[in-house]
Amino acid sequence: MEELKNGEKPIITAGAPKGSRPRKTISVGKRYIINTVLVVLFLAIGDMMVGQGIITRYQTSVLEQVGIYIIMAVSLNIATGYLGQLPLGHAGFMSVGGYSCAIFIMRMMPAFGVTMRDFVLGTPAASLLFVVGLVFGGICAAICGIIIGIPALRLKGDYLAIITLGFAEIIRVIMLNIDGVLGFELTGGAKGLTGIPAYTNFLNTSVVVVISLFLIHTMMKSRHGRAILAIRDNEIAAEASGVNTTYYKTLAFVVSAFFAGIGGGLYAGCIGVMAPAKFGFMKSIEILVMVVLGGMGSMLGSVLSATFLTILPEALRAFADYRMVVYAIVLILVTIFRPQGLLGTYDFSLGNVLEKIANREFPWKKSASAEEVE
């Protein structure tokens, strides 16, 4: 075997044709560097376009909502696609996170010395308060996830969907009537919580989306993620193999609720008003449709479907009132003709694509081994 210039021998895989070149691979470190550079460029270009007015305020608001619903869809995909359960209370976690984050930020503004204008200017104190408030909202949603997850995850299928749906309705009713019980204004009751600072913008929404996707992707590639996937594939076999199914089912449910609370916190700062009516049963269905349409178990599918289904009602503003009819029709068609979703369980990997390009492995090009067989 001939030696290369640096003294190393070429790596020839078993069964490779004689004289074939060694396969080029990209290390994990280089993959992270490439992804980080691309993400930073995207954020810098996007923020520059928003700052210079190339992207209008209305378009910026739509992009912020796209980011929020990406977080909501990907977080629900943890429980639905990766764990294999069917919760219908995601809007409840979203409302808990949104109310908690907004109330915390509004009450803590004097303590941090932050004004409404500081959020627009992006001062360090305002940024710190935003981060703390967002994490606080996520933790509150996660606590609710623990409270409902431990008893609910003993059930399966329709029973789990019913109990989580009931939980979401309980949260909505609590937000509606808690002011009368406490004797002072907290959530604003039926009229909603108003006066929320505009702490959500394109840049911090995009950063939170990137961090959320990275953390969820990392978790699912770890041994904890593999245990969750094993429960989805065969819960009995996973338990027989030593997987603590109760722990991992609860973990997936709580992580899903945490990121839903993060999305709710961003949502509160985006729209400026939190009303219980916004987090009814149909909100959970909207998010579920995004997951099912993209493919349960596919992060890329959830991202694409959330983007499409958020922009579509805005693009067809005149027909926005009929979007739920469109969602229902789309869900029926996907269930009939492609029950696994548009992308199934496929997940995009830029590193794998670059490796195929480097090795000239194009779909339309036959491999050398296939040509030899012929």
Residues of the chain with pLDDT under 50: 1-3, 8-15, 366-374
72 belongs to a structural domain: yes
Count: domains in the chain = 1
- pLDDT at position 35 is 78
Task: Catalogue the long-range contacts made by 363-369 (C-beta closer than 8 Å, 24 or more residues apart).
Answer: 368/16, 368/17, 368/20, 369/15, 369/16, 369/17
* Domain membership flag for residue 125: yes
Residue 327: predicted pLDDT: 66
pLDDT value at residue 358: 65
pLDDT in tens, 192-203: 888 899 899 999
Asked whether residue 195 is domain-assigned, the answer is yes
Structural contact between residues 167 and 173, judged by C-beta atoms closer than 8 angstroms: no
Rounded Cα distance between 95 and 105, Å, is 15
Distance from C-alpha of 74 to C-alpha of 209, rounded to nearest angstrom: 10
**Does residue 351 lie within any of the structural domains?**
no
The answer to whether position 346 is within a domain reads: no
- Contact 64/71 with Cβ under 8 angstroms? no
What is the CATH classification number for the domain harbouring 237?
A: 1.10.3470
Query: Would residue 357 count as lying in a domain?
Result: no
Only one residue has tokens 């609910």, namely 152
Please indicate, yes or no, if residue 212 is contained in any of the structural domains. Answer: yes
Q: Which of 298, 305, 350 is nearest to 38 (CA)?
A: 350
Residue 75 belongs to some domain of the structure: yes
Domain hosting residue 241, numbered range: 32-281
